[in-house]
Amino acid sequence: MQRSLISAAILSLTALAAAAPAQAAETAKAAKAKPAKPGKGAAGADSLATTQLPRNVRPSHYAISLKPDAQAASFSARVVIAIEVLQPTSAITLHALDLALASASIAAGPGQAVQQAAGIALDAGKQTATLTFAQPLAKGSYQLAIDYSGKIGNQAAGLFSLDYDSPAGRKRALYTQFEAADARRMVPSWDEPAFRATFALEADVPAEQMAVSNMPVASSTAIDGGRKLVRFATTPSMSTYLLFFGLGDFERATATEGGTELGVVTVKGRLPQAQFVLDSSKAVLREYNDYFAHPYPLPKLDNVAAPGRSQFFGAMENWGAIMSFETVMLLDPAIATQADKQAAFGIAAHETAHQWFGNLVTMRWWDDLWLNEGFATWMAGRTTALQHPEWQTSLNRVAGRNSAIERDALATTHPVVQRVATVEEAHAAFDEITYAKGGAVINMLENYVDEEAWRAGVRSYIKAHAYGNAVSDQLWQHIERAASKPVKAIAHDFTLQPGVPLIRVSEYSCRNGKTSVTLTQGEYSKDKPNKKALSWRVPVLAKTVGAADASRTVVSGGKATVTLPGCGPVLVNAGQAGYYRTVYAPKAYAALAASFDKLAPLDQLGLMTESWALGLAGKQPASDALGLARATPVDAAPQVWGRIARMFDEVRIYARDNEATRAKLSAFAISRLAPVLARVGWEARSGEAAPTAILREQLIYTLGALGDDEVMVEARRRYDASLAGDKAALPPALRRVVLGVVARNADSRVWEQLHAAARAEQSSIVKAELYGLLGQTIDPALAQRALELAVSGEPDATIGSGIIAAVAQEHSERAFDFALANLPKVNGLVESSSRAGYFPALAGGSANPAMVDKLKAYADANLPATARSQTNTAVSRMQYRAAVIRDRMPEVDAWLDRQAL
């Protein structure tokens, strides 16, 4: 929105700056400060750091005066930036996107001569603004002042608004989302991780609303027009993407831990739903203060809950002001399940870990994004298992590792440490490799060096690089020094090259009470079967089944021989810490499968997951995993049955277009899962374990998807009873999954009932869930109605894209074609950072070669070459899916035939 549209009641930008003596003093102080050493503090942009900006200027402090107009969807602002000119220049280039720069000036300090910019040139393609000055600037410290205005969007990029329903009517709140490169949408800035600086933010806002930022409020002063000027304390040195601002009809609850004020911020009326996260944050912060041996350095740490959702992220680690969408932070008592509770804890633990790995020490450039995300993924898993052993979440690492491996085994994979050259590539870097593989590699390395040595290395790394930027090798140096083991070489193998090692296990032999086996390293590839294998140094932990101890070795140079105590079947990757696939010689596998019930649940999950993945890839019979499922006792660990249920659901999807195979699969799968559901029951039992509650949901969902008559009848009975006023029919633990079964099989009348409920709902969490259910129908006509509803303007802007994505789960081609036909509307429902991945995700569920061509055509017409990685991955996945259906499903079909005999 242009500056001329801003209300005349807004104070002039000059007046706003003049009313901020504290900020002016901070700016002057920062301008006179000595430059930070390369790689540290405000600069961090040394000769080795990547930058898309000229290196002749660097910032040290931003004083920002902001006036947002939520209803007009615009803001006006002034920023005064303390900079250091490193080389004489007549031009300064910094980032700016969708901003209107009215004027710019520069001075050597307060009271010094002011030089107005002779020219302001915006480059939308490069997302920069270049300020030119008639008189060249000598080396030295300056204050750069810019008056500007900008837009408030309705998707999570830059400064954006979210609308929601409340008892008082329709409301609007403001939030910011700057990672990876969207701070430039609100502040002209050096918007790159290595350009650390301090920030002093003030905002002119409605008096009745609450403003939130990274730091506590330093002062709040009433001003004319029912408004107030809120000034926040100055932040520590940090990267631009960590800056945060929120404004709305909020309320806040607090607690204290280790001298830090912990807070939760919600829109009014929803504060009780944040209590679990507030309580959890105390335990997490206490653990992290100890683990890092560097107490959390800010005076407060808020968790801010925002209505709506994003196709790109669920939560963001802004320093001191973590922002999460309500769907992943709040526990609405009407619908919250055990899985929701565990997810909320895990996300809080993940984002809090970033306060050290990411915020206190920041990757120098997006190449090393995994230093943030992989470490936080691992740390969250470790902390959740430590704080809540009753949840048994340590078993989840098998699924996390598997998601990484399945992505990593495609030809379109990339190394953990990857080359990032553009903004589009930075957005694409937030994927399974960065998060799940990064976390799995850390887990493997910690297991290799031992947890005490690992922690000592991490503490040393944090201490050495606090308030600065770092690269991966600097972490390895500290770990290696603490562990006195060759960590760096192994870490390089797993982070600087792509792909997954494949450890082949020979037939074993036993002599004198010891078992010997030969391990040979190859490479696990799903779509390049004849690929020449890369070489890794692979830490391996192996044992004989039933033995108390395992033996460690490193498979180096492609082969190793291991001698194990005891005689019996050999289990490789015992404890499931290794990042590799394991394929056994036929007799060795048969002996291990026969001992399946003697394995720990974690290793049962590992063997089941490996067998299924290797079967689909043609490395062993695809029926092996189904045989394990057939032999699994009803009372096996809930997580094992959950994995079996997911495997059956995968087979169902592969058999979607083959009615005969689908019918056989349903009969077999129901015969295995129904007795487990009968044992678990529909209603929670007093004192039941958390994994059992989660299994119940998984079983009902999968049996419903398989068409189990008993489940569908019971789900519909409970739904009808709830409409008749029986609140006990749909307890919170069952509500979502029961409605999911009902929505999937809905007729027009039931679909309209759910639609009416979505329109009437005031809770943003429940509303989003109900609208999403409308897209889950298997009826093509109702799926089309859901698609049309998504772009009608009825659902909130952040919900429509989710409806289309829900339709794509069962109607991939229909959803993709519709989204393409309505491209301008759909683009308006998806934030810019998500668009390069959104359409590939819609198409990705298809195995139709024609869809591959459609997706490629979409990318050619709409995406720059640097934003094609997600398209390429989706294409690889579709082609692999087609190969599985062609080459593996006949074997599965034949195996199912034999079960019916």
Look at residue 310 and give its three-state secondary structure.
Answer: coil
How many Cβ atoms from other residues are within 10 Å of residue 249's Cβ? 18
How many Cβ atoms from other residues are within 10 Å of residue 225's Cβ? 12
Question: Rounded to whole angstroms, how far apart are CA atoms 300 and 774?
Answer: 41
Q: Give the single-character DSSP code of 258.
A: T
Start-end of H helices in 707-811:
709-723, 732-744, 748-760, 764-774, 780-790, 797-808
Q: Give the single-character DSSP code of 436.
A: I
Contact criterion met (CB below 8 Å) for 244 and 160: no
Contact criterion met (CB below 8 Å) for 260 and 235: no
H-run or E-run covering 301: strand 300-306
Contact criterion met (CB below 8 Å) for 321 and 214: yes
- For residue 173, say if its preceding peptide bond is cis, omega within 30 degrees of 0: no
Q: Give the single-character DSSP code of 292.
A: H
Residue 231 phi, psi dihedral angles, 5° rounding? -110, 135
Q: Which residues are catalytic?
A: 351
Question: Rounded to whole angstroms, how far apart are CA atoms 614 and 693?
Answer: 30
Q: How many helices (H) and strands (E) does the chain have?
A: 31, 30
Contact criterion met (CB below 8 Å) for 427 and 835: no
Question: Rounded to whole angstroms, how far apart are CA atoms 274 and 284?
Answer: 15
Look at residue 349 and give its three-state secondary structure.
Answer: helix
Question: Rounded to whole angstroms, how far apart are CA atoms 303 and 288?
Answer: 16
Question: Rounded to whole angstroms, how far apart are CA atoms 237 and 861?
Answer: 41
Look at residue 54 and give its three-state secondary structure.
Answer: coil
677, amino acid identity = L
Of 164, 161, 159, 154, which is closest to residue 765 (Cα–Cα)? Answer: 164
Q: Is 146 left (phi over 0), alpha (psi -120 to 50) or beta?
A: beta
Q: Show the tokens assigned to 304.
A: 């801010």
Strand ranges (E), 525-661? 538-544, 551-555, 559-565, 570-572, 581-584
Exposure of 161 by Cβ count < 10 A (0-12 exposed, 13-18 middle, 19+ buried)? buried
Q: Show the tokens assigned to 95.
A: 């980032």
Question: Rounded to whole angstroms, how far apart are CA atoms 404 and 436?
Answer: 5
CA dihedral 179, 443, 331, 704 (to 10 degrees): 110
Look at residue 171 and give its three-state secondary structure.
Answer: strand
Which residue is associated with the tokens 């004319």?
Answer: 224
Q: Show the tokens assigned to 31.
A: 């301008």
Look at residue 162 and give its three-state secondary structure.
Answer: strand
Q: Give the single-character DSSP code of 816.
A: H
Contact criterion met (CB below 8 Å) for 242 and 191: no
Question: Rounded to whole angstroms, how far apart are CA atoms 506 and 394?
Answer: 29
Question: How many Cα atoms sit within 13 Å of 464 on the Cβ side?
Answer: 15
Question: Rounded to whole angstroms, how far apart are CA atoms 237 and 42?
Answer: 6
Question: Rounded to whole angstroms, how far apart are CA atoms 184 and 148?
Answer: 12
Question: Rounded to whole angstroms, how far apart are CA atoms 338 and 350?
Answer: 18
Contact criterion met (CB below 8 Å) for 550 and 541: yes
